[in-house]
């Protein structure tokens, strides 16, 4: 790979748009997890066997998708024992990828309660709740001690 930015999705991700819209509307957030789960089922996903790859078109809410996350981890040479703070973690895709594929303990923080709520649901569904924490918070007012993390991540 010459550049992580050259990675292009190999499949049609148009189905992600209705899911993301349902996740992030005030009605969707107010109703909790059911609109998210309903949207995944409507997209043909098996809720009892979800993988981070299944969720990547939805929760890798940034340029380059999961391929970019993997490439950046390799460039950063993050160790399996690293503790990572994911600032502006959005829907939790990079945090889940870091936890699942690289074994990192990840704490994600985002300003949006809707994003963090969706990230919590998605992360739990792929069995990473213990490895990837999610919190609503302001990156300018972090509630963590200096040196609490080995890596600060944002994507």
Confidence of residue 4 (pLDDT cuts 50, 70, 90): very low
Q: Please check the confidence at residue 97 and state whether its pLDDT lies above 80.
A: yes
Q: Please give the C-alpha separations between residue 46 and each of 54, 56, 60, 123, 126, in angstroms, as whole numbers.
A: 9, 15, 19, 15, 11
Q: Residue 118 — pLDDT band, cuts 50, 70, 90?
A: confident
Model confidence band, residue 117 (pLDDT cutoffs 50, 70, 90) = confident
Q: What is the pTM of this model?
A: 0.79
Average pLDDT, the chain: 82
Q: What CATH architecture does domain 4-153 belong to?
A: 3-Layer(aba) Sandwich (3.40)
Give dist(CA 94, CA 88) in Å, integer.
10
Q: In the chain, which ranges are continuous DSSP H helix? A: 16-24, 26-30, 34-42, 52-59, 65-76, 93-102, 113-125
């Amino acid at each position: 790979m010459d550049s992580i930015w050259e990675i292009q999705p190999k499949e049609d991700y148009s189905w992600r748009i209705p899911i993301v819209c349902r996740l992030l509307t005030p009605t969707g957030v107010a109703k909790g997890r059911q609109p998210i789960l309903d949207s995944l089922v409507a997209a043909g996903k098996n809720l009892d066997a979800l993988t981070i790859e299944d969720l990547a078109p939805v929760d890798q809410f940034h340029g380059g998708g999961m391929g970019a996350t993997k490439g950046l981890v390799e460039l950063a040479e993050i160790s399996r024992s690293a503790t990572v703070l994911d600032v502006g973690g959005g829907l939790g895709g990079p945090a889940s990828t870091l936890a699942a594929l690289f074994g990192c303990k990840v704490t994600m923080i985002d300003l949006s309660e809707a994003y963090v709520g969706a990230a919590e649901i998605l992360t739990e569904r792929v069995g990473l709740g213990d490895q990837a924490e999610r919190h609503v918070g302001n990156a300018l007012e972090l509630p963590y001690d200096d040196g609490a993390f080995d890596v600060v991540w944002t994507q």
